Amino acid sequence: MDDALLHRAGDVATMPRDTFVLVARGAVATDTELDLVDLAPSTIRVRWGSDRSVTYLSTGQFLDLWCTERPSDADATFGLLRASLVTGDPVPMHVRDPRIVGSGLRWTITRNDGWLPHESGSCVLVLNPPERPLT
């Protein structure tokens, strides 16, 4: 079976693995939660299946899609952005249970490695990265 396919628990159906990129003006983190504050209104979607494409959808559409068609958890990487430059090493983590909080999203997280600042400025969260992004 192709590694680029995801399986839903209890469902034989498979679907192409999509990567989603969420950009926010800031983040607040604890050991178990990550809040993306003031999310960009659009989310980038990269399709890796036979219909490879890069598109965008509204963050609301992303949440609808995530909650109805995607698994509730994913591997992810978190990175800080400063003056259009990526800074520091991306932090690999596992995210689940997105919830709307104010103008952003709160994720329950399990960090695999790395350090998250308690508060940060502009940042990016990449869901289902094909591999750990390079900075």
pLDDT tens, per residue, the chain with 135 residues: 333 333 333 332 344 578 999 999 999 999 999 999 999 999 999 988 788 899 999 988 988 888 887 667 889 999 988 755 566 788 999 999 888 898 899 999 999 888 888 898 999 999 988 765 444
Q: So where are the chain's domains?
A: 18-127
Burial of residue 133, with CB atoms counted within 10 A of its CB: 0-12 exposed, 13-18 middle, 19 or more buried:
middle
Topology of the domain comprising 18-127: Elongation Factor Tu (Ef-tu); domain 3 (2.40.30)
- Whole-structure pTM value: 0.79
Coil, strand or helix: which one is 60? helix
124: nearest Cα among 19, 6, 5, 17: 19
Residue 104 burial by Cβ neighbours in a 10 Å radius (0-12, 13-18, 19+)? buried
d(CA 107, CA 35): 6
